[in-house]
Amino acid sequence: MPIPFIDLQSQRQRLGQPLEDAILKVVRSGAFIMGPEIGQLETALGEFGRAPHVLSCASGTDALVLPLMAWDIGPGDAVFCPSFTFAATAEAMPLVGASPVFVDILPDTYNMDPASLDAAIEAVKAKGELTPKAVFAVDLFGQPADYPAIAAIARKHGLKLLADSAQGFGCTLNGEHPIHWADVATTSFFPAKPLGAYGDGGAVLSKDPLFHDLLVSLRVHGQAVKSDIEGKTFEHDPKYLNVRVGTNSRMDTIQAAVLLQKLTIFADEIDARNRVAARYAEGLSDVVRTPTVIEGGVSVWAQYTIETENRDGLAAHLREQDVPTAVYYPIPIHKQGVYSVYPTAPGGLPVTEAASAKVISLPMHPYLSTDDQDTIIGAIRSFVS
């Protein structure tokens, strides 16, 4: 029987009846959009991620776009991000009319290279065609980027810093969550994420109450919020007063109910993921390049990604033994036609391009049995030898 790449059914069985009861409660209530579970989830996420303000939204992509809208970033503006990431990271900029500027990654963690970032910002400033406005650092594969270094560069240049934790919600660096350094942290609740819903969803974590208030307005069609109506009176419901152009990015209540249940075991699952990762490293580090976690960092291991010179051969060998694999990301974003028109850091992105040809991800989830993991490790070792 094939080994699951991600095992959501074991998690569902562990959560059991309380999960099903939570879903049925929403169905019976009829509060399918913005029901009480939404506020409960936002509070719980803030407590877990150490953020004073949390806004739930319809997807991880919306979680990236909404802060850009709130910061009034648009045509003529530059936002710096890695190219070795999912397309949603870079997609957010053109969606508001801004330009992504692609930055290289570090060869060990695959996260943003601070030196490449600084050089890219200086180059954009020197050219004068775009105005640098923000940095999107990505917590790729579940581990934190080098936030102390990246935040220092963002501050030096007067740029906003967003932590794209779509794969990394729950990761820490020196005991702190990314929001400690970033202006905003975002995440995705796509089902395959470490903290995943049973559909789409996302969240924006922030520290500024007025900024959060603006996000609340933008999430629901630019409706008037507290800061818009203070000292004013209206004869009608102020939700029908639209004071800015917004969007529709409300989370379904059922997804909040699911996530509230999953949060009760999330810390334990992160511990389990780290045990699985440690066992992989012990069994594979002498035959392939295993992941390096930043010093002081704790990864949530959205993926366990190794490097090998013969990726296609290894994938075929594992497939024959019912071991699934995945490749993130075979074509860097800056190499894809629609994004190839946007700037890159000086000197190009050689580390990104080298990694994209060698990386391959193995089954990773909190419920991976030792027997299945031994099978995976044994299959890789037999191929390499």
Amino acid residing at 129: E
Q: How far is residue 275 CA from its own chain's centroid? A: 22
What SS3 class is residue 378?
helix
The token pair that represents 280 in the structure block: 């992989």
Contact criterion met (CB below 8 Å) for 174 and 144 = no
The token pair that represents 116 in the structure block: 């490449």
Look at phi and psi of residue 289 and say left if phi exceeds 0, alpha if psi is from -120 to 50, else beta.
beta
226 flagged as catalytic: no
Whole-angstrom distance, CA of residue 357 vs CA of residue 306: 12
What SS3 class is residue 167?
coil
Whole-angstrom distance, CA of residue 136 vs CA of residue 162: 5
Contact criterion met (CB below 8 Å) for 366 and 276 = yes
User: How would you classify the pairing of strands 297-298 and 172-173?
Assistant: antiparallel
DSSP string, 292-334: -PPTTEE---S-EEEE-S-HHHHHHHHHHTT---B-S-SS-GG
Contact criterion met (CB below 8 Å) for 349 and 374 = no
The closest alpha carbon to 134, from 110, 105, 164, belongs to 164
The token pair that represents 15 in the structure block: 């959560």
Matching residue, tokens 């507290």: 226
The token pair that represents 183 in the structure block: 């202006």
**β-bridge mates for residue 103, sequence order:** 82
Out of 125, 156, 160, 193, pick the active-site residue: 193
Active site residues: 193
